[in-house]
Amino acid sequence: MITPKFPVDEKQRIAAVRSYNLLDTLPEKDFDNITALTANICDVPISLVTLLDADRNFLKSHYGIPFNESPRNISFCGHAILEESDIFIVEDARKDTRFKNNPLVKDLQAIFYAGVRLINSEGYPLGTLCVFDTKARTLSKSQKKALIAMAYQVVNLFEARKRNRTLLAVQQELKDKNEQLKNFAGVVSHDMKMPLANMIITSDMLRTKYGHLLDSQGKEYLNYIKQSSFTLSEYITGLLEHYESDKTASLTDEVFDSQEVLEEIIELLNINIDCEINLPEENIEIHANKVALEQIILNLVANSLKYNDKERIKIDIDCFEKNGCYHFKITDNGIGIPKNKLEHIFELFATTDVLDRNGKKGNGIGLSTVKKLVEKLGGEIKVTSKLGEGTTFLFGIKKT
């Protein structure tokens, strides 16, 4: 018997083998199907998917034998990975000096062997797809081709699992980073709320107590401080709503009337301008997350009020149930959204650059939060708009 030598790049090859995280893993149906099919095609009792580790041959799949590893120094595969040919074949191991007196030959009657190297994308032979028989024999041309093709599929499975594991790791990292960002946004936002409130109150106190000492420019500066504080406070509130939307979407579902929730929203808005809001004629019973739905509609109706340049604002709201979903349609006669902005309107921090009714620019958080909530509730949202004439938002959420 001759012990197989190590490849010249053995250190790098071992690192490649271990990068797939397949050593010492449980059997998997995908690999077991391949070895069973390979044994059937080649008409042999044993078929293996092997990974050659530093001192052992780990059998990721073992068809026809009860163990899942063997010493590397007696392995056929240790010789196979050194061969540059497409397939390594030993027709009768009893007559081959490399395998005479090999325990696998003596104890298991491993007389015939054929193995195809499992070469990864970097060119390292990780192990083999191989077959054994208890008698001397040959493989037909079609059997050889099938064995080579099956080995190619094994490598594809290795690579797919490695990619999936990498993607899962990246996904988890992004999830952790997002959680850190949410926590950071929450802490910073809460910490900034009080100083901003103090700035607003202080500017009012300065105007009241020292207003008579200030010229028009001084009073204008105070107005600027107050309005900037209000704008930043609204921005922070929007950020908090956006990052807390996951919590909102996970709240318990309720049973409520559509008319009830729409009337509550109108009351919350405390509208003090000339506005006509037309509610749906039909009142439907809704089984859904009431808090999340309220936040969605509140954001959309508030936008219809803010981004409107008409003397009389008109907002039409429709609601109906279809195909296991609740559908809502909110149409206004407002400013409208430029065509080139429609595609990005739901992206976080995306704005239309159009000033609202009070001359302020939006922060691009509200609609992003709306889309996030709608999707969390199993639905989707769309928008159509015509500049100067108005906008329509259509969204649906799943019935629970």
The 10s digit of each residue's pLDDT in 290-327 is 888 988 998 899 899 999 999 999 999 999 999 899 99
Q: Give the number of C-alpha atoms closer than 13 A to the C-alpha of residue 308, restricted to the C-beta side.
A: 24
Decide which of 141, 168, 195 is a domain's last residue.
168
Alpha helices in the chain (DSSP H): 10-19, 29-42, 76-80, 103-108, 141-210, 216-243, 245-249, 258-269, 290-306, 366-376
Residue 276 lies in a domain: yes
How would residue 9 be classed by pLDDT, with cut points 50, 70 and 90?
A: very high
| DSSP one-letter code for 68 | S
Q: Are residues 162 and 291 in the same domain?
A: no
In a domain, 68, yes or no: yes
- CA torsion through residues 253, 255, 257, 263, sign: negative
| Residue whose entry in the numeric block shows the structure tokens 């908090």 | 240
Residue 39: pLDDT above 90?
yes
Final residue of a structural domain among 119, 150, 168: 168
Mean pLDDT of the region 132-152: 95
Other CB atoms within a 10 A radius of the CB of residue 294 amount to: 17
In this structure, is residue 386 part of a structural domain?
yes
Shared domain for 276 and 393, answered yes or no, is: yes
**CB–CB of 273/313 below 8 Å?**
yes
Q: What is the pTM of this model?
A: 0.54
- The one-letter amino acid code at 263 reads E
Q: Among 168, 192, 207, identify where a domain stops.
A: 168
Q: Are residues 163 and 270 in the same domain?
A: no
Q: CA-to-CA distance for 301 and 192, rounded, in angstroms?
A: 27
Domain that holds residue 14: 10-168
CA distance 84 to 395: 61
Domain of 332, CATH number, reads 3.30.565.10
Number of domains in the chain: 2
Please report whether residue 237 resides in a domain: no
pLDDT score of 185: 66
Residues in the chain: 400
Q: Is residue 2 in a domain?
A: no
Task: Please check whether residue 228 lies inside any domain of the structure.
Answer: no
Average pLDDT, the chain: 88
* Beta-ladder partners of 285: 257
Comparing 10-19, 179-188, 204-213, 275-284, the range with the smallest average pLDDT is 179-188
- Residue 280 CA to residue 302 CA, distance in Å, equals 18
Query: How do residues 204-228 score in pLDDT, each as one tens digit?
Result: 888 888 888 888 888 888 887 877 7
Does 183 fall in a domain?
no
Asked if the structure places residue 286 within a domain, the reply is yes
Q: Looking at residue 195, what is its pLDDT?
A: 76
